[in-house]
Chains A and B, each alone.
Chain A
Amino acid sequence: MSPRRVLRIARWEAGRNAGTIDRRTAILLACTLLVVALVAPALVLSAPTPGQGVYRVAVDDANPYRAPVALNDRLSAVPPGANAVERGRADVAVVGTSGFVVADSAKGRAALAALRSATEAYNDRLMATENDVAAAFPVTVDVSYVERGTRVAGGSGGSAAIDADDGAGARTDDGGTTVGGGTTADSGATTGDGTGTTTAVGGGASAGTAGPSVSGDASAPANTPGGLTPPFPLESLLLAFVFVLPLNVVIQSYGSSVLDERVDRRGEPLLVSPATRADIVAGKTLPYLAAAALVTVPIAYAVGAGVASVLAVLPLAALFLGVTFLGALFARSYKELTFVTVTVTVVLMAYAFVPAVFTEVHPIAAISPLSVVVRDIRGDPFQLGGFLLATVPVATAAVVCYGLGLGVYREEDLFTQKRLPAKALDALAAPLTSVRRVGLLTVALVPFVLIAELFAVASLFVAPPDLAVPIVLVLVAVIEEVAKSVHVYAGFTNARFERATRAALALGVASGVGFFLGEKLLLLTRLVGLSDLTVGGAAFGNAELGAGSLALLAAPLVLHAVTASVSALGARRSARGYAIALAGAVLLHLGYNYTVVTTVG
């Protein structure tokens, strides 16, 4: 790969975006961008919420509960009248000063709960005007989050969490990142105004007694019960949107550009130029990767995240580009490309978002790059293990995507119309020039296995173990067996190998050995203690065997070689033969895993 050529192609690619746009397009683009630029600040200022006025409360203007209703965004006041609730005009009616008529429905009860929390917030506001603060706020509370077994305090505050029930909407608690000892100990509701946050104290001595003497009784305290914010996960959803949606625009443009090359053989001149395929692909990708970085950095800055966040999001951006690249090489039309792009966005967004929900709650969150961002924003200490687990699988998967795509970035594949699965098989078969290459490709597929298995664990760990463990075992067996055999099948269909029993056995063994070695990547999960989970152990226990005896070390190797050979023997014959053999291999694998989990685990 020559850097000079890569840069020239990159410059050309970037210039093509700017240079060849005709005047009308430029004006249109400028207009739309202007509208976006004008609307964005207005939106930030007015901050419309989708939940505005979804619950209706019948209350007259003189009623004391009129004020709490006005205070809460989700509540809207409707004029009282005879049978407002019965007639469906309102969900809750306030009668007199203490009577409440509630619609007999989930919505009615939810409306009452909203009114209740609105009243609490209103009371807190009312009390804030009192002179006798100790009587107005007679309870103050400090929360320390303590891991059982080791008394390490703090670390996980809810202070940055989105305040989903606006009980404390009036007060903002800007969690104190104070206190010595190197740990940032921000407990749920502590502002920096002096209330001693309980810091790390060994052995369980009394840590809270320092608090009362320090906390001044002069002003309204911030650490009232109403100000407690339980760690609530939805901010990661917001982050997923903030980081991922702009990437969506980048990949749309990128996919379009790659597919453009394939329309009317437009990419041919480049292919016959002295530039290698890698030069072309790297050059075409570079501007978009730069664009992704340019988009990510200001966003990270805006949400208050640092370098670690950018480093965590960039591999995700690379995977976005990588999968889009493959999609654009496989797609037959722009329409198909749009669907591929949407699917990529949705799947990767789910992968980024779902586990990150559990940041601060559960180690499973570490698999999502967004959890690094969440931790970074909260000022939690940087964890190398979690960072590696979040970024390494994603980054390696991106590299593998490009590796597979490079294999089919050639004349006979670029300009032919084939169905997507057939193209995918072509891409898998392209690098298979020898038996050894089969093993190497298996290793390359391991990041995808890791991502799929992590996602399976993330989605199932909430379920009861009795249900989750069998499902995870089945999923793991299916994922691993497919990863070990799908390229072998591709090799046979593309006539890379002779359809003979000996060849099939050799390929199976090579693939099995490759997987056995690649599987060691799963040891990453050790870094965050994911295998301590019941489901985690079921999924990843296999990679850790071998600590004990030589027999245990050899067992997974034998398993992988045997099952891969079984499916390779089937793949040798036909698609149906492959399906049947694959099912057999999955069953074998399942039986083995079940034995391991029940006897060893």
Chain B
Amino acid sequence: MDSRLVLARRELASLRREKTIVLALAIQLFVAAFSSVLVVGLVSLYAPGAAGGAVAVDVGVTGDAADDLGPVVDRGDAMYATYYDAERAARAGFERGDVDAVLVADRLDSGRTYVDATVPDGSFATTVVVSRLKAALSRYERQRRAALSTRLDRQPLDLPPERGGSTYHGFTYTVLIPALAFLPAFISGSIAADSIAEERERETWDLLRSAPLSIPEIVDGKALAFVAIAPAQVACWFAFLALNGTPIHAPLAALGFVTALTGLLVVGGVAAALAVPKHREAQLVYSFGALGAFGAASLLPESPQNVVAKLAIGSPTTITWLTVVGAIVLGVVSYAATRVAAARAATT
């Protein structure tokens, strides 16, 4: 068998044999899955459309503009207006828990309506109540604008219709998926640096060099294992998300992009470990280098996060594809360059 594959298999086996590593991965998986489920769950709870049918919000309405505001409140998703004659009665109702919020609406001489809103504090419902009130009051604002339209020079645009879409739909694609895609790539680069730094610190590097392998072949063998495991992890994440109702639109392209980035990071890790003799300094160089490179890449027309988000959500542009191709080309070129440099460093 190709000796490079033997080395790659040795690296993977050493990862597997140390069962603690498997355990560490499992914990990571659990925590990441758990927090993503929690965050996505929360987000959908806060989204007006998603929680719409679930929690009913009763609103006490009073004040001289109450007859005007009440019907607007009633039109909201699962919102019900209760009319009170006096503010005192409305507040008493709030205290008793008859209503979840109180709106005191007074019409001023200028035609403006002043609303004093009271919502419960420190309860889980606060956010739901406030976001519903916001929707209702915005609706009321539009209605009042229309009523006073003769006093306006320009007219506001009509709003597009509501179809129950969540404004937080994009969160999964733009925050969660990029994070899940890049974390394994960073770790791969880091353990690639570890692997070589360790061989050098424990002075087994010379032993390895005496094996019938050239330096580029050693780099191949080491890098192969670490480049391979990151896309495998990301593929698992994608499958997991797809099962949970978050389809990934261009999984292969996204995986290709992740592989290219992993290649770049692994090359960076290998280069850091070859250039710097000590493990800790090599790790520092790698960490800051990766951080800086990532920051610099964020200044591109489409940042890496944006590229992954667009591929996953299904809105790739020409620039997206160019970035993917560019990353792959850059990955291949820098990989080749590292092999050459490693060989040269070894001969001198």
Contacts and interface: CB of A to CB of B under 8 A. Distances in A.
Contacts of B28: 342-343, 346
A547 interface: no
Interface in A16-33: 21-22, 24-25, 28-29, 32-33
Contacts of B325: none
A54 B174 contact: yes
Interface residues of A, number: 138
Contacts of B284: 29, 249, 252-253
Contacts of A28: 272, 275-276, 285
Interface residues of B, number: 123
Interface in B106-154: 106, 108, 110-124, 126-127, 130-131, 133-134, 137-138, 140-141, 144-145, 147-149, 151-154
A204 B88 contact: yes
B117 A54 contact: no
A600 interface: no
Given A40-B295, A188-B130, A215 B114 contact: yes
B94 A112 contact: no
A123 B158 CA distance: 9
A260 B191 contact: no
B53 interface: no
Contacts of B276: 24-25, 28
Interface string A136-161: 11111111111111011001101000
B315 A53 contact: yes
A429 B158 CA distance: 72
A193 interface: no
Contacts of A25: 275-278, 281, 285
Interface string B18-46: 11110011011001101100110110001
B299 interface: yes
Given A139-B113, A354-B35, A50 B163 contact: no
Contacts, number: 385
Contact of A113 (B49, B148, B174, B310): B49
Interface in A72-107: 74, 76, 88, 91-92, 98, 100, 102, 106-107
A260 to B, nearest CB: 7
A338 B190 contact: yes
A361 interface: yes
Interface stretch (B75-83, B164-172, B328-336): B164-172
A291 interface: no
A299 B315 CA distance: 36
A336 B111 CA distance: 69
A93 to B, nearest CB: 11
A139 B115 contact: yes
B95 A52 contact: no
B311 to A, nearest CB: 10
B71 to A, nearest CB: 15
A206 B111 contact: no
A130 B175 contact: no
B211 interface: no
Contacts of B18: 332-333, 335-336
Nearest to A131: B153
A50 B304 CA distance: 8
Nearest to B197: A334
A228 to B, nearest CB: 4
B95 A204 contact: yes
A116 B190 CA distance: 44
B303 interface: yes
B151 A135 contact: yes
A98 B148 CA distance: 22
Contact of A138 (B32, B144, B162, B285): B144
Given A64-B157, A138-B144, A148-B120, 13 more contacts: A28-B285, A46-B299, A100-B161, A106-B165, A113-B163, A132-B152, A134-B111, A142-B117, A146-B119, A336-B20, A362-B124, A363-B122, A419-B20
Interface of B: 14-15, 18-21, 24-25, 27-28, 31-32, 34-35, 38-39, 41-42, 46, 49, 87-88, 91-92, 94-95, 97, 104, 106, 108, 110-124, 126-127, 130-131, 133-134, 137-138, 140-141, 144-145, 147-149, 151-154, 156-170, 173-175, 178, 187, 190-191, 194-195, 197-198, 201-202, 272, 275-281, 283-285, 287-289, 291-293, 295-296, 298-299, 302-303, 305-306, 309-310, 313-315, 317
